[in-house]
Amino acid sequence: MISQIVLVTGLLLILIGLWGLLSHRNILRIIISFSLIGTGTHIVTVAIGYVRNGTAPIIDRTLDVWGAVSRVVDPIPSALVVTAIVIGMAVTAVMLAFAIRLYDSKKTLSIDAFTDSKW
Partner 1 sequence: MIQRLCVAVAIASFGLVFASLAVGYTEQNSLRPLAESYVRLVPHELGAPNVITGILLTYRGFDTLGEVAVLFMVAASVGLLLGARRRPRGTSTRDRASESRASSEIVRTGADILVPLICIFAAYIIMNGHLSAGGGFQGGAVIASGVLLTLLAFPQYQPNLEFLSITESLAGALFVLVGIAGLVMAGGFLDNRILPLGQFGAFFSAGAIPLLSVLLGVKVGCELSVILERFRPKKS
User: Whose CA is closest to 73, among 45, 43, 46, 49?
Assistant: 49
By CB under 8 A, name the one of 58, 108, 110, 114 that touches partner 1: 58
Out of 62, 83, 115, 117, the residue judged to bind partner 1 by CB under 8 A: 83
DSSP lists the bridge partners of residue 60 as 63
Pick one of 62, 65, 112, 116: the residue that binds partner 1 (CB under 8 A): 65
Span near partner 1 by CB under 8 A; candidates 28-36, 65-73, 111-119:
65-73
Q: Is residue 34 exposed (0-12), middle (13-18) or buried (19+ Cβ within 10 Å)? A: middle
Answer yes or no whether residue 115 interacts with partner 1 by CB under 8 A. no
* Subset of 5-24 contacting partner 1 (CB under 8 A): 7-8, 11, 14-15, 18-19, 22-23
Which residues are CB-contacts of 106 (< 8 A; sequence separation ≥ 6)? 113, 114
* Of 87, 63, 88, nearest in space to 73 by CA: 63
Return the number of the residue (107 or 119) whose C-beta is nearest partner 1.
Answer: 107
Q: Which of 76, 108, 110, 111: binder of partner 1 (CB under 8 A)?
A: 76
